[in-house]
Structure 1
């Protein structure tokens, strides 16, 4: 890994809660290069109670419920909060898209909508030693 890639994307968050993902995993049209591409959400530490409740419900078919960013949010580069759609209900906020990857998520949501599908990205909920985390399965929406 090159030294210029080692910086934290959001210095206001702990190192283990920065989220992860890379532009290198996407083509020129911001579509995932393969089916294994994921983005781990950032800012999940404050959402541990909500994530624990989602796990207790057995959310096997959870998908994202991300609202489109307005022009005001785009202008100030506001983070994109992520909620989960759990079949019949929407959870509270479970994290945010990592800094710098907002355009990837926006473009993929638009691509899904243009196909005529509901703008939702499948997720995987993972227990790590630092808590419960959410991975967006970006390769599944190619």
Structure 2
């Protein structure tokens, strides 16, 4: 009975909105990359500065309340890019700031960020190990 009364999400609309939102975020990232490529021709440094700019953009948008609006409409299209990770950490910091900087803000930020970092490092290690085994070389 509850299942029948619960409104069903429009899956196609959600899919299209997530695709558009993710595409817009990636386009902004590409514009940053193209801008930084002119300033810093090293590919590695250009990539690092672009990531830092996108993280800062996500944090600023969260602080201004814009990222929540974007995530409501864009769903996973806003959550998956690095700006979504920035939003999650920044929102936790803003929410728990009143509990103190170390036990409130710092702890809650790493409760959110910890699993992402652990699984990111672990998957990087596994992929590197597989590459070393399959190619016979570490580099």
TM-score, structure 1 normalization: 0.29
More strand by share: 1
TM-score, structure 2 normalization: 0.29
Q: Which has the larger radius of gyration?
A: 2
